[in-house]
């Protein structure tokens, strides 16, 4: 039986986490390698293999037109999506800005954009949506690496995530949840979609 994307990725992250130290929190990307982080070094390759098995990207090393969303993205957006996927399973934390602390939705997008593109986004989701440096994108123009916004708190731009292709996005959803991939075509998200933005640097 084929698992739903969010559940399947959550299970994958749990399995990967079990290989690391049970008492260690998620490693900070800037931290020096430790035995625990060294043991989890294959995490990226495991995620890529899993995505390929689910049909969300081509096999590792496959390029050109036969690749799926990750291989088709432009170089800047590809790096951003890869960076974002590296935080799958990090717990949600209101006001959280780093992997060590946990992320809320806008803290997650801000962290990924700064580390991947060198672009410092405002802290709040509505401020990110209104940033004049970002390009407004229609839903049918979405590409991996674009910001996608939703109305989840009776406010137009109250939630944000990063589009990863094939109708899916990665985000930090809510208290008690973890960073995960979900499908924008699910009725909940489809009804609440309020717009998308693209960093000019991701189009180069």
**Catalytic-labelled residue, pool 13, 28, 68, 105:** 105
Answer yes or no: 171 catalytic: yes
Answer yes or no: 159 catalytic: yes
DSSP letter string over the chain? -PPPHHHHHHHHHHHHHHTS-TT--PPPTTSPP-HHHHHTTTHHHHHHHHHHHTTSSPSTT--GGGS-HHHHS-HHHHHHHHHHHTTTTPBB-TT-EETTTEE-HHHHHHHHHHHHH-----SSHHHHHT-TTSEEE-GGG--TT-EEEE-SSSSTT-EEEEEEETTEEEE--STT-BSEEEETTSHHHHHHEEEEEE-GGGG-
Answer yes or no: 68 catalytic: no
Which residues form the catalytic set? 105, 159, 171
């Amino acid at each position: 039986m084929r698992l739903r994307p969010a559940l399947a990725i959550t299970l994958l992250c749990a399995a990967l986490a079990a290989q690391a130290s049970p008492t260690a929190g998620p490693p900070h990307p800037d931290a020096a390698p430790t035995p625990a982080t060294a043991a989890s070094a294959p995490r990226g390759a495991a995620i890529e293999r899993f995505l390929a098995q689910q049909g969300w990207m081509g096999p590792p090393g496959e390029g050109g037109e036969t690749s799926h969303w990750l291989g088709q993205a432009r170089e800047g957006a590809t790096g951003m999506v890869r960076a974002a996927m590296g935080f799958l399973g990090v717990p949600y934390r209101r006001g959280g800005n780093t992997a060590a602390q946990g992320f809320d939705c806008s803290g997650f997008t801000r962290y990924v954009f700064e580390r991947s593109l060198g672009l410092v986004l405002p802290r709040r989701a509505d401020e990110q949506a209104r940033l004049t440096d970002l390009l407004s994108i229609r839903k049918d123009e979405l590409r991996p690496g674009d910001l996608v916004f939703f109305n989840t708190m009776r406010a137009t731009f109250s939630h944000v995530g990063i589009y990863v292709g094939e109708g899916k996005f990665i985000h930090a959803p809510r208290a008690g949840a973890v960073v995960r991939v979900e499908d924008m075509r699910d009725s909940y998200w489809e009804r609440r979609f309020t717009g998308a933005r693209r960093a000019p640097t991701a189009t180069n």
